[in-house]
Structure 1
Amino acid sequence: MQDFTYSSYFLFQIFSTVVPVILKGLTYDEKRGACSVGSNVRDSACYVCWAFARAYDPLELRPFVKQIASALVIAAVFDRDINCRRAASAAFQENVGRQGTFPHGIDILTAADYFAVGNIANCFLNISVYIAGFPEYNQPMIDHLVNMKINHWDGVIRELSTKALHNLTPRAPEYMTNEVLPKLLPLTVGTDLHTRHGTILACAEITHALSKLAEENKRSITSYLDEKILEGLKQIHLELSRRQLYRGLGGELMRPADGWQWLINDSLQSLHLVSSNARQQIKESAVSALAALCNEYYCTGEEGANPAQQDELVKQYISGLQSHEEMIRCGFSLALGALPRLLLKGKFQEVLEGLKRVTSVSPETVSFAESRRDGLKAIAKVCLTVGVKGEGSPTEYVCKNNIAQIYNMLLNGLNDYTTDSRGDVGAWVREAAMTSLKEVTLLLTQTEPELIDTDVTKQIMCCVAQQSAEKIDRFRAHAGSVFLTLLYFDNPPVPHIPHREELERIFPRSEAITFNWNAESQAFPRITQLLGLASYRYHVLTGLTVSVGGLTESTVRYSSQSMFDYLKSIQNDMDAMNNFCETLLQVFEDNLLNDRVSVPLLKMLDQILANGCFDIFVAEENHPFPMKLLKLCKEESRKSKDVQKLRSSIAVFCGLIQFPGDMRKQVLFQLFLLLCHPFPVIRKTTASQVYEMLITYSEVAEPDVIEEVMTILSDTNWDADLPFLRKQRNYICDLMKVPKPQLVTKQDVTMWGLFNPYIGTSCITKYNRLYLWESPAVPANAGESAALKIS
């Protein structure tokens, strides 16, 4: 007995020395440069705790159980590193299983097991609240957040910690009021940026939680916060402003933490001063604070408070929409969208006019995609705020006198395809336009659906369908979601949706929620079925064009295969094929020289022709469809220096050779012109593709002629000088019985033009040389053609 007592005393002394070191190791975190070096120490400390459970008797560890248990729980829930959280959870589990003395061990393990602690947000915001329900762990967890996490160098950890304090406040409101807030308030205006930022956010979150708690218990906030605390909270903003702590490095951290009118306006005007990563958070924080401020201070009863101040605020925001700074336009657009109805009363039309200028594209603002996006968002928000009254005044309501203007602004946003160094920034605008169209349309549907015009509904559904057929997965998914929401809205149904029954067959209601628009393999087979619906055909084909002719392999594969399947399904239906071809020609004609659509369209035509989708027209000579297609391809490639476009044009010309009649000579003429193009890469591409074309379509000439032409194409060095290549090209023309392009003098062309003024030939003179482009009516020997600049 004496030996046991002596041994226990000896171990107690050792543990008294070792345990504090281990507990310190469980929270050790030190930043060196851009990295933390504490994770290995914390992981090792967890291992030591795990080893304690296996090496010592429960009686020997009993005096230290409470400390170790709290430290392991804190590490399992609040550690920044996932490996350390899981190591702490494993150590806690080992101690619960072998020691049996950890308070509420089984319950905590159930909530904070190895897999549950993998998600850091879940740990901070959910698991911590459950564990804090046990008194043994409540205050240690709060103290750890206050002492070590809200001043952490990682901004994400700081923000999660303050949100955790918000969630933990109902568990210990008195402790928060009496201990935590008095400790935090002096730190809100301290010198350390991270501490200042974290403590201000923590004060805000705790105060917010206490106010909600007071509201739930039907008590005043003063029952939780005394006058000294309230005064300290009020002084935070004034003191930060006095010390100019909103300026300079770190200003973007301080702005989201408070919300007076000056600060809101200053933040909305200073977004260009902060990093792009912080910009969105600041905008959201400022707009949220503005809404709360307006509801609290500007709206007192029905009449409101200080009308002059209200008018001045709205005018300030409207005038800011004309700023030359894009970020000021963004901030003030969102600010107008956040204003309460009382401040918009009598000014709705004026606000719409201001937002119209923001959402319009002009040469000066073509790059302002973010401001157009936020302007479109604001249009929907102000519409939702003021409400609908068909016979009401356009200065106060959405009504019959301004609904057309609202829809025009939103629909115009769907045509924004602006690109810059960041890529397709117009996609942000189109996404916002679709969301706003949905919100405004559902608002009208639920209030006064008679204000929705039949043509407007058709435009909305067709334009959204076009977006659902395009190439960017995220925006295609958003468009699909909007499309199905409008289709299946039942409270009441959206009026005038074209082909509603067919749409419900293609997209069954049972799949409306689960349908994965992000997956090309699921989306495109359904989207292409819309080609069979007259109202949707043009827009869906326009959207599919940029997908089928795009660059992403999976998108091209599934979209093209879906289109081929559709075209194969209508091979025996001449009316359906004619409708498709007429629409295809219309899309081509409407987007002539618009490279965003025309270049993918040429690539799509190459694939369609190569897959024999137009075989139905091969039996008829000089069919008008391939003739018109040839004409448009010539127009598109004329004068072009875009190698990608020229290569795609060559492929289409080669595909058009399959159609019999006089157009074969025209196709060959275009291809032989390109054999002497100024760009060697185009000459070589043409020679290679014509060679392959002659193998595939051997019926275009006699076998011995084709063999000789193919020999010339393969043996000629198409990097050689143009005079030599013209001789080779002209010999090929003679063999194939195609008119040879001829160099002409300036005098010849001038006289020819005088005698033929109606032809419309285009010619220019540069460096004392003549450059002539062929028109379809120009004789074949009048000069070189569209893609070939005479050298």
Structure 2
Amino acid sequence: MSERAASSGIGASTSCDVNELSRIADTDRAALLEFVNECVDSREDDEDEDEDEDENHRTSNTRTRLMAFMRTLERYRERAVLLDPLLEALISPLTKTVAEEVSSERTHSRRVLRCCEALDAISSLRGWKTCVRFYPNSTKYLEPAVRMLRDARTFDRSRRVSWEVQRVTLAWLSLLALVPFDLLTIDSDMDATSSDVNTIPRVVRVLMYECKLFLGDPGACRDVAAQTLAKLVTRPDMKSVLRDFMSWSSSALRGDVNVESESMFLVPGILRTLAAIYKIGRRDALLEFAESSWQDVENTRETNLAKDSTLIRQLSIKLACRVGLAFLKPRVVSWRYDRGSRRLEDNIRGSSNVNDEERLAIAIHDDDDGEDVHVAIDGIVEICLRGLRDSETFVRWGAAKALGRIASRLPQDFADEIVGAILECFSVIENDSTWHGACLALAELARRGLLLPNRLSEVVPLCVQALTYDVRRGAHSIGAHVRDAAAYVCWALSRAYAPDDFAPFVHGLAPTLLMVACFDREVNCRRAASAAFQEAVGRLGKFPHGIDIVNFADYFSLGSKTRAALDVAPFVCQFVEYRRPLMEHVLDVKLTHWECSTRRLAARAIGILGDLDPEWVAEVGVETVLARTRSLDLPSRHGSIIALGEMLLVTSRMITRLDSDVNVRVLNLISEIGNEVIFTGEGGLLIRSATCRLIECVARAVGSVSMDAYTRDALVAIAEASMESSSEDVQSAASSAICALADARFPVDNAADMRRLVMNHVALLQSDSHVVRRGSARLLGGLPVSVLMGRSVDGVASWRVIIDSLAKTVADSHVETRVCAVMSLAELTCTVLRNSGGVTSGADVAFVGEHVVDALLTCLSDYTTDNRGDVGSWLREAAMKALPLVIGAIQSRVVEVDAHRCRQVISGVLKQAFEKIDRVRCQALVTLTLLARGGEPNRQETRIAYGVTVRALYQAPCGLAILRDVLPETVEGALDASHAASLFDTMRSMLCVEDYAYDVLSGWFLSAGSLGDSLARFSTDALLRAMSEYDGVPTLVVQSIVKTLRENKHNDRVTIPVLRVCDVLMSRGVVDGSNVPVELIDAVRAELYSSRDISKLLAGCACLSHFVRSANEGLHKSSTLGMLALLANKFPRVRSATAEHMYLALLSLHEPSRDDEDATHLLSSNCWDAPTSATKDVRKQLYAAFGLELPPFMLKECTRAAKAKAVDGEGNYAALVHDVGF
């Protein structure tokens, strides 16, 4: 339904417009034609080739060009029609080449194979039925094509033959089978055949035999073979062949001519062939076989094979439908409903005719019911009705179309019985598949005008039920496909009926379609309902305010569930005709939905929609949800509690009068829930969160709910208890509730309570429980200014105490607590600086800048990891979100952040912009854009009530102008600009700014040395380009590598990527190895010392190997010592890799010395996977070959070995003397 609905006016989503698609087709035209010409012009001599080689005909270059050709075609998979102007130019040369080769009996040449592969690629994209029109259709090709098919099947598969050749040949034969000449006159062997087979040409017998074999093929050739057979046997001169095939197919379906294991593939092929025969053949020629075919369908449907095979069931229904159409005369029944011509001109001309009701009455009266309907029709209809209940969608779809086709040839009474049978499928005892199939069948009947207006009174209410079909099953629900199909029914009804006939049902159908369009949880259902509504508006013109709604509720605005419910629904509800139905739908259906997110979205929606009708909220909504709050059903109870809070806010905003007892009932409800077992039992987290939200709404609904101090303290106690929950949702709701109570319900002069609240949660920041610390950190940022401006016992302002405590909490061991502290710092800063009752003195603003900004800068260097990965990225991302808010709040006091901190902020965020996590890079670009260009930060995820605007930083050091040039123009463009493919290349000019270069490279190294293929490739290529373009950058990069290795010694998160980058830079030759400072080698060796990480050792080994051949004596000596030390490493893999790198490095020397050659021989002639003791002498020789002294650890080994040998020698001499007798 979604595609059909979209094509009816809403339009499908696409990334390119029509003009761009045309340009793409023109660009690829040359590439496609070039490959075709290559296939046509190739002239290989196949006769001299070794035919026993596997895939000898597919050279690597040919295969590469073919894959490129297929990739070019694949770009048009969703818009293949754009290739139609090119089809003849692509297909004709290929088919002409195949025809020439086949006529020359070169059926196995490389040219044939390549041409067939290209033809199959085109046919798979555009459809072989479309492409076959451009194949040669001369009669002289019939026999060569049959011979080619036979050879393609029998020739050894290892000898350059593939299924593409078979499918292309079968498709070609489907065209040649229609030659307008008697096949007896075409067969060249007719004179040589015996007299008993004169009536069947040999070419036909061979083709029949081959195609029958392909009917059992499990691949794509089976479908093409079925069409070829159908076109052949339905020729007027092939009656005897048709009779033979019908007899053979009946035997095969019964299992007489094939084994059971082959039936799985053969039966679908036979059924598809029979269905094609009944579609193509003449009715008078097929009637004699119809009875037999119907019996075959009945028998096949009852087999176990059909029960297990969806394809067999679908083809059985298709064949049954075609047989049924053969039993019925082709005609357009006069009783069908005709709404008139779709052309306005024709309708105007026919305006003088009798009206539709009179015309329909005359048609039904004149309908020819005298002809008996074949008895098999009842069974065929029964099979189709059973098909509507099938578990597979495409079987139900086929059954629905079959019912529509059969009903279009039946008398009116019989067709009406089919309609009644379909309507009976809409029963509560039927499953979702039956409802879906029935919807499809109704749509097919309506499209064909077979659903008469007198049935609309039954159909439309059932369609309304189907539009809201949603049945919970376990942890999920079913019914999306039913709602989608119901929208398709509405779309079909809108197109089928005249406005006057459909007018009585508009007021029941229009609100339901808009309910689905605005509130359905599935995007395809929302868009399908919108398409049906748009079709009805355009065709019928009876839907109130249809044009306005269609313009607003378009394909894209309904793509987001949140936007549809919170933006589109309020627009629709401004029209009184739809307001109450939509609000009642939300109240009765969505607030009791099984999915928690749907209930929460419904509560938000009812809060927005309630402003349009506050009287309904007060009189109906509040009473309804209050009654449901005691329901035993958890979803109903949860939805009613969160909706009650939103409704109270509505009544407070709109100053709507509530019943006198509502205040008491709401407060009693909160107390009762807090004391119930469900508050801590199953589903307790949902109820806790909902109750805290209700407390928050009650606190803010000052005009609707009143409370005394005792009640306020009781509500605070409930929320405080929820703060200890481990759920972040519950803690967030509880902190918001406490803040709302403090803001709206604490008296201004009640300083003691305010002080107690602040000091209590400041103390809890030091709690042993990380859950408690997280909750308090979250709460303190949302306190109102009236509480923050209070004084502690020592006389210090509360906000100073809180900022100081939160700044220390940023170093907490629990990452979620640190994230909460960061966001609270931003919220608190904005509250005390942006509020008119906040701080005003310059010293206070400086305190905020010093503590808050410094704390956020500390967070930018947090790289904590645990079993969840880089959890420190959460903190870095939160800090980057908070920085613009804090800086904007400071600037609001006409104070600028000092230049030193500005440089630190820009440097820290720039580093994040080059790191490897996508979302961190994106947030970094957003933050940089705000700081460099100015703007309004996003505060949707915060509790900041005042808008914050950031002014561009002008106090930062030089380089800000360059930064502005490379940043996106707007914050919205940061998402596209953060892609690795463009970010590194665009911002590489920042390496020219000395103040930021090291921080940029610190993040860049992590990306370039990461394991992600695309990220590492894009970042490395951009770094290489920058080093080639900008003078001084290569030296700067090397210095940064040395500095990074020294500052992050044995920090594998940093050093391993840096070593990889160093290896890549040296191997690409962008750094002069002779000018590299020896400090780099020393830093690498120091990092590798005593390391047990194999990946680090391998990266360091590769890095050192580049300097073994250096002309600089210091570099050569230091790197060689490091490599020789790695040859004694305990890991065999490291020793082998080191030997290999050294060997390759020595081989690359232009003029190797004798010692270098000896070292090369030693490295290549020994097994370095062996234990280190076995290679000890070899390593000594290597030290000698390089002219290096043995390191201390080897000298100690030699000393120990010498002493052991001496002791062993003395023992042997004493034994000898003793034996001799001295």
895, 899, 908: which one pairs with 1:463? 908
Q: Which of 324, 327, 330 pairs up with 2:774? A: 330
Q: In the TM superposition, what is the alpha-carbon distance from 1:93 to its structure 2 partner?
A: 4.2
Q: Which of 810, 828, 832 is matched with 1:359 structurally?
A: 810
Which residue, 1059, 1063, 1067 being the options, matches 1:602?
1059
The 8 Å contact of residues 542 and 587 in structure 1, kept in 2 or not, is answered as yes
Change in CA separation of 1:122 and 1:492 when aligned onto 2, cut-off 3 Å: closer
Q: Which residue of 1 aligns with 2:1011?
A: 551
How far did 1:499 drift? 0.6
Alignment partner, residue 568 of structure 2: 127
Give the conservation status (yes or no) of the 8 Å contact 1:348–1:394: no
Show CA shifts across 1:456-488 (max 9, x none). 333222222222222212112222332332233
Change (3 A) 1:657 1:570: farther
CA–CA separation in structure 2 for the residues paired with 1:433 and 1:118 = 31
Higher relative contact order (CA 8 A, sep 6+): 1
1:624-663 correspondence to structure 2 within 5 Å = 625-663=1076-1114
Residue of structure 2 in register with 1:84 after alignment = 525
2:664 is aligned, of 231, 236, 242, to: 231
Under a length normalisation based on structure 2, what TM-score does the superposition of the two structures give?
0.54
Q: What are the Cα deviations for residues 638-686 of structure 1, in whole angstroms up to 9, with x where unaligned?
A: 1111101101110111122343232313322321232232111101111
Contact 2:527 2:555 in 1 (8 A): yes
Task: Name the amino acid aligned to 1:538.
Answer: Y
Provide Cα deviations, 1:37-78, integer angstroms capped at 9, x if missing partner: 223333343344444445556555444332233333323333
Residue from 674, 677, 700 that aligns with 2:1129: 677
Pick which of 186-195 and 236-245 moved more: 236-245
Is 1:316 paired with 2:760?
Answer: yes
SS at match of 1:387: helix
Are 2:463 and 1:22 aligned? Answer: yes
Q: Residue type of the partner of 1:640?
A: S
Q: Structure 1 residues 168, 266: closer, same or farther in 2, change over 3 A?
A: same
Q: Under a length normalisation based on structure 1, what TM-score does the superposition of the two structures give?
A: 0.81
Residue 240, structure 1, aligned to residue 695, structure 2: no
- 2:730 is aligned with what amino acid? I
Q: Matches of 2:1120 and 2:763 in 1, distance apart?
A: 61
The CA distance in 2 between the partners of 1:267 and 1:461, in whole Å, is 40
Residue in structure 2 matching 1:525, options 950, 971, 985 = 985
Alignment partner of 1:722 out of 1166, 1172, 1196: 1172
Corresponding letter in the other structure for 2:875? V
Query: Are 1:445 and 1:495, in contact at CA under 8 Å, matched by a contact in 2?
Result: no
Question: What is the CA-CA distance between 1:371 and the residue it aligns to?
Answer: 0.7
Which amino acid is 1:266 matched to?
A
Matches of 1:306 and 1:488, distance apart in 2: 44
Unaligned runs of 5+ residues in structure 2 are 1-356, 366-411, 417-451, 696-714, 791-796, 936-949, 1201-1222
CA contact (8 A) 1:383 1:398 kept: no
The letter of the residue matching 1:269 is E
- CA contact 2:467–2:484 (8 Å) conserved in 1: yes
Quick check: 1:410–1:437 contact (8 Å CA) kept in 2? yes
CA distance in 2, matches of 1:695, 1:431: 49
- State the match for 1:478 in structure 2: 923
Tell me which moved more, 197-206 or 50-59.
50-59
2:900 partner amino acid: D
Alignment partner, residue 422 of structure 1 = 868
Q: 1:484-513 CA deviation, whole Å, 9 max, x = no partner?
A: 322334976545311155535643685776
Q: Which amino acid aligns with 2:734?
A: A
Kept in 2: contact 1:142–1:165 (CA 8 A): yes
- SS of residue matched to 1:514: helix
Determine if contact 2:1045/2:1087 at 8 Å carries over to the other structure: no
Secondary structure in 1 aligned to 2:916? coil
- The separation in 1 between residues aligned to 2:1024 and 2:818, in whole angstroms, is 37
Distance change >3 Å, CA 131–CA 375, structure 1 → 2: closer
1:372 is matched with 818
Is 1:263 paired with 2:718?
yes
- Code of the residue aligned with 1:469 in structure 2: it is F
**CA 1:374 to 1:698, structure 2 compared with 1: closer, same or farther past 3 Å?**
farther
Alignment check: 8 A CA contact 2:519 2:564 kept? yes
Unmatched 5+ stretches in structure 1:
215-220, 750-791
The superposition leaves residues 170-195 of structure 1 with CA deviations (integer Å, 9 ceiling, x where unpaired) of: 33222222222222211123211100
Task: Give the secondary-structure state (helix, strand or coil) at the position aligned to 2:1194.
Answer: coil
1:444 to 890, 896, 914: 890
Distance in 2 between residues matched to 1:404 and 1:121, nearest whole Å: 40
Contact persistence 1:487–1:497 (CA under 8 A): no
Change (3 A) 1:95 1:381: closer
Aligned-residue offset at 1:401: 5.7
Shift of 1:579: 5.2
State the shift of 1:18 in Å: 4.7
Over 3 Å counting, the alpha-carbon distance change for 1:494 and 1:308 in structure 2 is same
Match of 2:1129, SS state, is: coil
> How far does the alpha carbon of each residue in 1:292-349 deviate from its partner, in whole angstroms, 9 at most, with x for none?
2222112x4xxx2422211111111111111222232122112111112222232233
The residue correspondences of 1:108-187 to structure 2 (distance < 5 A) are: 108-113=549-554, 116-187=557-628
Q: Does 1:349 align with 2:800?
A: yes
Which secondary structure state, in structure 2, belongs to the residue aligned with residue 681 of structure 1? helix
> Over aligned residue pairs, what C-alpha RMSD do you find?
3.4
Q: What one-letter code is carried by the residue in structure 1 that aligns with 2:751? A: P
Aligned mates of 1:640, 1:108 — CA distance in 2:
68
Confirm whether residue 497 of structure 1 aligns to residue 956 of structure 2. yes
Cα deviation digits, residues 152-207 of structure 1 (max 9, x gap): 00122212222222222233222222222222211123211100111122222233
Cα drift, residue 283 of structure 1: 4.0
Q: Which residue of 2 is the match for residue 759 of structure 1?
A: none
Structure 1 residues 377 and 739, CA, compared in 2 at 3 Å: closer, same or farther?
A: same
Change beyond 3 A, Cα 1:543–1:22: closer
Matched, 1:561 2:1021: yes
Partner of 1:202: 643
Deviation at 1:453, TM superposition (A): 4.0
Q: Any idea what the Cα deviations from partners look like across 1:595-618, whole Å, max 9, x if unmatched?
A: 222221111111122222332x62
Take 1:401 and 1:145, find their aligned partners in 2: how far apart are those partners? Answer: 49
| 1:121 to partner: Cα distance | 2.4
Aligned residues of 1:388 and 1:448 also touching (Cα < 8 A): no
Equivalent residues of 2:1155, 2:1185 under 8 A apart = yes
- Cα gap change, 1:163 to 1:595, in 2 (>3 Å): same
User: Does structure 2 retain, via aligned residues, the 8 Å contact 1:177–1:224?
Assistant: yes
Q: Distance in 2 between matches of 1:136 and 1:339?
A: 43
Q: In 2, Cα distance between the equivalents of 1:291 and 1:413? A: 26
Counterpart-to-counterpart distance in 2, 1:505 and 1:101: 55
- TM-fit CA distance, 1:524: 1.8
Distance 1:417-1:156 versus aligned 2 partners, 3 A rule: same
Deviations along 1:339-392, one digit per CA (max 9) or x if unpaired, are 12222232233223322332125xxx2xx1111121122223223333399xx9
TM-superposition CA deviations, 1:538-562 (whole Å, max 9, x none)? 3222222212222222222222222
Q: Could you say which residue in structure 2 is the equivalent of 1:285? A: 733
The equivalent residue for 1:611 is 1068
